[in-house]
């Protein structure tokens, strides 16, 4: 089955710097790669996702890149702000009609220092 | 719309007791799933369902049962609780298990087994 590895487990940056979180996956059939943000005591919420036919996707200060050959994808946050502090999870899934398993990485705790 | 509703929010059980964690969604979502969140382990898939009457195992199904008799409800049953099941449990749903439908999470149930 699918296995997702996420690094680093913790990341501390100064406000205004960039942050990069990387994930690798094992199942070459995976075709959907979302990223979730979880603030302290809250539920995870989708911030951005990418499909296997796209190499990069941007939404304001966040972007995700995908390298299908190497089976890894990354989250990039530019101009970080204190409100970006949270736990970030990557996930991978071959979300066809027969499966639908969304497997998550271990999470990265991002701390943005003012 | 209430979204995904989980009850209870908190629960303390003694080893060997049984209980059911409730999950309901009012978005007419076909796909529903249960995850557990433990420190450093990310979100691990317990069971999932792609529609009423259909369930399947995730990464860590042992000790848990599920059923999906209606589209709206997806209860998670612990038949004989163990301390290893102390965790935060999240129910999540999406319109379908295809890649265009993001996962919506409930607010979680914090379970402690003593």
pLDDT for the residue numbered A34: 94
C-alpha triplet A52, A53, A58: angle, nearest 5°: 85
Q: Are B52 and B33 in contact (CB under 8 A)?
A: no
* Digit-coded pLDDT (tens) for B46-104: 999 989 999 999 999 999 999 999 999 999 999 999 999 999 999 999 987 666 678 99
Q: Which residue is closest to B4 within chain A, CA to CA?
A: A43
> B51: alpha, beta or left, given left = phi > 0 and alpha = psi -120 to 50?
left
Q: For residues A74 and A65, give the distance between their C-alpha atoms in angstroms, rounded to a whole number.
A: 5
CB contacts under 8 A, B 83-102 vs A, are 90, 97-99, 102
CB contact, 8 Å: A29 with chain B?
no
Q: Which residues of B touch A44 (CB under 8 A)?
A: 43, 90, 105
Q: Are strands B54-57 and B64-66 parallel, antiparallel or unpaired?
A: unpaired
The CB density around residue B50, as the number of other CB atoms within 10 Å, is 19
pLDDT for the residue numbered A99: 58
Share of chain B above pLDDT 70, in %: 96
- What would you measure as the largest C-alpha separation in chain A, in angstroms? 46
Query: A83 φ, ψ to 5°?
Result: -70, -5
Burial classification of residue A41, based on how many CB atoms lie within 10 Å of its CB (0-12 exposed, 13-18 middle, 19 or more buried) = exposed
* Digit-coded pLDDT (tens) for B17-61: 999 999 999 999 999 999 999 988 899 999 999 899 999 999 999
Q: For chain B, first and last CA: distance in Å? A: 36
Residue A26 pLDDT grade (very low, low, confident, very high; cuts 50, 70, 90): very high
Residues 6+ apart with CB under 8 A from A41: none
pLDDT for the residue numbered B109: 97
Whole-number Cα distances in Å, A109 to A55, A106, B106: 25, 10, 21
CB–CB contact A43 B107 (8 Å): yes
Q: For residues B56 and B49, give the distance between their C-alpha atoms in angstroms, rounded to a whole number.
A: 6
Our CA-based measurement puts residue A53 at a distance from the nearest CA of chain B, in whole angstroms, of 12
Our CA-based measurement puts residue B98 at a distance from the nearest CA of chain A, in whole angstroms, of 5
Q: Of A45-49, A66-70, A96-100, B37-41, where does mean pLDDT reach its minimum?
A: A96-100
Q: For residues A16 and B17, give the distance between their C-alpha atoms in angstroms, rounded to a whole number.
A: 50
* Digit-coded pLDDT (tens) for A88-106: 999 998 765 455 688 999 9
Q: Identify the three-state secondary structure at position B83.
A: helix
């Amino acid at each position: 089955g699918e296995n997702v590895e996420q690094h680093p487990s913790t990341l501390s940056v100064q406000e205004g710097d960039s942050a990069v979180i990387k994930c690798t996956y094992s199942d070459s059939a995976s075709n959907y790669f979302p990223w979730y943000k979880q603030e302290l005591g809250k539920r995870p919420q989708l911030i951005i996702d990418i499909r296997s036919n796209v190499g990069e996707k941007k939404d304001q200060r966040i972007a995700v890149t995908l390298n299908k050959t190497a089976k890894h994808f990354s989250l990039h946050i530019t101009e970080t702000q204190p409100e970006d502090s949270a736990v970030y999870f990557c996930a991978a899934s071959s979300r066809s009609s027969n499966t639908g398993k969304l497997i998550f990485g271990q999470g990265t705790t991002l701390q943005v220092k003012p | 719309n209430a979204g995904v509703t989980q009850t209870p929010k908190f629960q303390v059980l003694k080893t060997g007791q049984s209980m059911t964690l409730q999950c309901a969604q009012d978005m007419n979502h076909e796909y529903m799933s249960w995850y557990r969140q433990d420190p450093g382990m990310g979100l691990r898939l317990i069971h999932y369902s792609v529609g009423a009457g259909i369930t399947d195992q995730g990464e860590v199904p042992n000790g848990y049962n599920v059923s999906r008799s209606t589209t709206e409800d997806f209860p998670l049953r612990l038949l004989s609780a163990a301390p290893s099941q102390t965790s935060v449990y999240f129910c999540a749903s999406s319109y379908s298990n295809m890649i265009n439908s993001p996962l919506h999470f409930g607010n979680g149930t914090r379970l402690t087994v003593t």
